[in-house]
């Protein structure tokens, strides 16, 4: 696909990027689609730090591309797999099936992790794998280490490119998280992710029977282990930070010696916590970039005039948010250091492929809520809501109203699954019982709304119910969708102390920035949606949008 305006790039001695866009009759082919996803980057976090960014990273994209300031997800469960798959497919979770990081598998009678697949086990990256320690509760619920995209029910942009160009494009995704990489690579691409067991980048036998040589060579460098005993230190003088006074708050998490204050020391090489601590720091994103560079070189991406696709999902902002919160010194430094990582990425792509041949889009999979204790200090009603509270309340309602004991089969946010066999044994109408429990749950402190799934098949009168409806899948969703009140934490007790996953604006608001040949530098403030990203990329490349896409083409990006 040809660009309408030639993009001329010069690297300055400072490392910054100077852009001069000249209308020209000659057109440069797109050789690479670079999709950057910043896990957990709420839009205003980017804006809060923007004045201190360098010349080559976020600022370059914001100043040279079409940036949308009012982009919001339209679904209710703003979790990692849901957002990434929406970005990849342009579809809603009701269509692509990724309704949450975890859901109830009726065949096994257990919770299922979104991309687990026992038929496709991980490829071991070294002779003796270490047993790691991580803080991802969703991933810990997986019953097998197998991974594949087979549970994704929709075509991705990468799949569309492969079909359009006869299987010729190279489609790859890299991330700190397995589900982020798998979602973006689609069914026909290849995915690699950071292992919190070994510190290597790994994959499953869905993608390969053995590792490519360049992957083995990268893993043999043992870059994660080389960080053992080192420290995450502030990039700049502490006095220059907005949150310098909030470096030690009692509701932050100390990952067993990682600490709540700077500098944060990485564990020793033999500690199972080391890879997790690296992920909760700028170093995790730097390792992700270094691996992506090896991928571009090893697979010769962007080497011809058929566009290749590379997704890089940086996981550090989300990991830091979960442990320290978004209004923290750690988050502030994380974004400043990520900016340098992005600048490094763009310099590398310019050198290897040429930015004049690269179509770039940057977005995020979800936002993040502030810690409830922090909001309470500011006078905003907030608190913590735990699964046992919700289950106990639902069981109490069923007992008092219908004389049914232990009606809750299980609960994993946001879905409550009921034992419908007990309802039928009591000779009651399931819909009546479910609706009554939902109504009762809606009165519980910290719960804004509980919606019965049986009501979601008809048009919904409010935006909130429409968001829940877009998140509903008949064989995966629970009987009741539980929405926490604004700024209420709704998750398990543990190391995760700040959470996303709600339909509220702080969780739905993300950046969308397109940059590349012919794309105008402009700020757009109208309401748009991340589901629009895949259709817009497809239009720029001259192909049809992915099959299940619900988003629309962003006309400002297409204007030449």
Q: What is the mean pLDDT of residues 193-217?
A: 97
Degrees, nearest 5: CA angle 263-286-183:
120
Cα distances (Å, whole numbers) of residue 286 to 101, 264, 352: 25, 17, 18
Which pLDDT score, from 0 to 100, does residue 20 have? 33
Confidence of residue 16 (pLDDT cuts 50, 70, 90): very low
pLDDT at 58 over 50: yes
Q: What is the mean pLDDT of residues 158-186?
A: 98
- In this predicted model, what pLDDT tens digit does every residue of 302-346 receive, in sequence order? 999 999 999 999 999 999 999 999 999 999 999 999 999 999 999
pLDDT at 256: 85
For position 18, what pLDDT does the model report?
35
Q: Which two tokens stand for residue 469?
A: 């409806």
Candidate from 142-151, 343-352, 385-394, 531-540 with smallest mean pLDDT? 142-151
Overall pTM > 0.75: yes
The answer to whether the CB of 103 falls within 8 A of the CB of 112 is: yes
User: What pLDDT, on the 0 to 100 scale, is given for residue 126?
Assistant: 84
Q: Which domains does the chain have, with CATH numbers?
A: 5-374+504-558 (3.40.720.10), 384-485 (3.30.1360.150)
Dump the DSSP string for 197-220.
TTSSEE-BTTT-SS--HHHHHHHH
Residue 5: pLDDT above 50?
no
Closest CA to 510 of 246, 309, 329, 317: 317
Instruction: Say yes or no to pLDDT of 107 above 90.
Output: no
- Cα 233 to chain centroid, rounded: 25
Q: Residue with structure tokens 């859901």?
A: 103
Beta bridge partners of 451: 481
Looking at residue 546, its pLDDT comes to 98
**pLDDT in the model for residue 25:** 41
For the chain, the residue count is: 560
Mean pLDDT over 42-62 rounds to 96
Q: Tell me phi and psi for residue 192, to 5 degrees.
A: -135, 145
């Amino acid at each position: 696909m040809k660009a309408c305006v030639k993009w001329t790039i010069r690297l300055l001695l400072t490392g910054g990027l100077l852009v001069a866009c000249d209308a020209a009759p000659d057109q440069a082919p797109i050789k690479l689609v670079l999709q950057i996803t910043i896990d957990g980057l709420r839009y205003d976090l980017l804006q809060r730090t923007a004045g201190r960014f360098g010349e080559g990273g976020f600022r370059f994209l914001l100043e040279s591309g079409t940036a949308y300031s009012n982009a919001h997800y339209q679904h209710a469960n703003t979790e990692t797999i849901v957002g990434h798959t929406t970005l990849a497919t342009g579809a809603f979770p009701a269509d692509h099936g990724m309704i949450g990081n975890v859901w109830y598998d009726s065949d096994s009678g257990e919770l299922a992790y979104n991309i687990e697949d026992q038929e496709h086990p991980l490829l071991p990256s070294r002779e003796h794998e270490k047993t790691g320690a991580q803080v991802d509760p969703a991933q810990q619920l997986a019953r097998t280490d197998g991974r594949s995209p087979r549970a994704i029910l929709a075509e991705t942009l990468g799949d569309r490119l492969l079909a359009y160009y006869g299987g010729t494009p190279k489609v790859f995704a890299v991330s700190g998280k397995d589900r982020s990489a798998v979602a973006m690579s689609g069914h026909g691409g290849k995915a690699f992710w950071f292992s919190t067991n070994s510190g290597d980048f790994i994959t499953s036998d869905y993608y390969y029977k053995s590792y490519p040589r360049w992957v083995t060579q990268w893993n043999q460098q043992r870059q994660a282990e080389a960080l053992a005993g080192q420290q995450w230190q502030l990039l700049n003088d502490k006095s220059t930070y907005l949150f310098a006074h909030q470096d030690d708050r009692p509701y932050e998490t100390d990952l067993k010696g990682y600490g709540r204050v700077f500098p944060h020391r990485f564990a020793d090489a033999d500690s199972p916590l080391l890879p997790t601590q690296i992920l909760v720091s700028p170093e995790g994103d730097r390792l992700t970039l270094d691996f992506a560079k090896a991928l571009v070189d090893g697979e010769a991406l962007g080497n011809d005039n058929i566009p290749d696709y590379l997704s890089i999902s940086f996981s550090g902002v989300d990991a830091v948010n979960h442990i320290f919160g978004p209004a923290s010194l750690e988050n502030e430094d994380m974004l400043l250091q990520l900016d340098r990582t992005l600048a490094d990425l763009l310099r590398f792509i310019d050198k290897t492929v040429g930015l004049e041949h690269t179509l770039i889009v940057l977005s995020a999979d979800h936002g993040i809520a502030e810690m409830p204790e922090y909001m309470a200090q500011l006078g905003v009603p907030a608190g913590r809501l735990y699964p046992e509270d919700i289950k106990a309340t639902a069981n109490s309602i069923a007992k008092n109203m219908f004389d049914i004991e232990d009606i809750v089969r299980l609960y994993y946010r946001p879905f409550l699954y009921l034992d419908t066999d007990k309802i039928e044994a009591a000779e009651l109408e399931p819909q009546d019982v479910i609706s009554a429990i939902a109504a009762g749950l809606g009165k519980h402190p910290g719960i804004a709304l509980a919606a019965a799934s049986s009501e979601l098949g008809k048009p919904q009168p409010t935006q909130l119910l429409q968001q829940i409806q877009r998140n509903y899948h008949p064989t995966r969703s629970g009987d009741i969708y539980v929405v926490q009140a604004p700024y209420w934490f709704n998750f398990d007790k543990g190391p995760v102390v700040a959470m996303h996953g709600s339909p509220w604006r702080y969780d739905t608001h993300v950046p969308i920035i397109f940059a590349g040949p012919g794309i105008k530098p402009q700020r757009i403030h109208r309401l748009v949606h991340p589901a629009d990203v895949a259709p817009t990329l497809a239009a720029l490349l001259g192909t049809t949008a992915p099959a299940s896409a619900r988003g629309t083409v962003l006309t400002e990006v297409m204007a030449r």
